[in-house]
Amino acid sequence: MELNLSESPTRSVRCIVKLGGAAITRKNELEEIHDENLEAVACQLRQAMTEGSAPSKVIGMDWSKRPRSSEIACDVDDLGDQDSSEFSKFVVVHGAGSFGHFQASRSGVHKGGLEKPIVKAGFVATRISVTNLNLEIVRALAREGIPTIGMSPFSCGWTTSKRDVASADLSTVAKTIVSGFVPVLHGDAVLDNILGCTILSGDVIIRHLADHLKPEYVVFLTDVYGVFDRPPSENDAVLLKEIAVGEDGSWKVVNPVMDLTNKKVQTSVAAHDTTGGMETKIAEAAMIAKLGIDVYIVKAATPHSQRALNGELRESVPDDWLGTIIRFSK
């Protein structure tokens, strides 16, 4: 079921945010969350969503027992006298990082073949891993007072056909937004009409959501300062500050002025990454920009990411801002 967005209040969605898996997990440690980054990102999201109108005291919404704790953190008494906070409409999508990719890669889930026992087992294992991460991200945002609702694409009816989105019931996402909640989706193992199953990446999910929800802007939070002309770990790597996207979806670097084409920009993919890494991210961001929606790729938990989340870059971009802007250019 698709939405008639001409009549939908979700047209006022302000921002879709992608939490990169490498930014919120420790990518070289199996199923290990980067707690410091996640806490910082949650705080920045709250500031961006409330646009400075947040109460002085954050009332957490995670009332469940935390690991290594004997008590439940519950601020119910404080809520009685608390004014309701107005949150602008955001949607959050996160990658898997050190969750899910290992299971999917080891079993070949991304290649399909559900008739094989190893693939079926890997499908289950992958979903256990990524939904565990989704829960922890929802809890982290809820502790910052953000009314988050975890939503798994598989459970919400997302399917693919040769890895392209074939169906996605966005009505639940729309109702969640209209009801004042923040949907938190994630890359997931899904059924594929041709392959049997595959991995639906968070970057593809964001492009589909952007196409239907038409946010004002999109922010990709990563573990590096943006898109570079080669892996940023290499010497002399250059940050590409602005990429222009043409009507045909092709893109070129416009800042800095370089003798580069998109074919010469080198990207790297971790051996266990089943979603395409930075190359997929750039391609999906270009498709979003083609819709007339600015995309910012920026390092998470930095002053630069706060500016991007706040929407400050839509009018002008300060010279000292570090990140990559991908924009449509007629």
- Contacts for 175 with CB less than 8 Å, ≥ 6 apart: none
The answer to whether 93 and 57 have CB atoms below 8 angstroms apart is no
**CA dihedral sign of residues 224, 93, 317, 244:** positive
Cβ pair 110, 198 in contact under 8 A: yes
Indicate the SS3 state at residue 114.
Answer: coil
Q: Is 281 annotated as a binding residue?
A: yes
Residue pair 200/187 in contact by the 8 Å Cβ criterion:
yes
The answer to whether the annotation marks 96 as part of a ligand binding site is: yes
The strand order across the sheet containing 159-161 reads 164-167, 159-161, 188-192, 196-200
Q: Is 214 annotated as a binding residue?
A: no
**Residue 330, annotated as binding a ligand:** no
Q: Is 101 annotated as a binding residue?
A: yes
According to the annotation, is 113 in a ligand binding site?
A: no
> How long, in residues, is the chain?
330
User: Is 212 assigned to a binding site?
Assistant: no
- Residues contacting residue 122 through CB under 8 Å, at least 6 positions apart: 103, 104, 106, 107, 108, 109
Report the distance separating Cα 273 and Cα 104, nearest Å: 9
Residue 130 · residue 109 · CB < 8 Å: no
Binding residues for ATP: 97, 223, 277, 281
Binding residues: 96-97, 101, 202, 223, 277, 281
Binding residues for substrate: 96, 101, 202
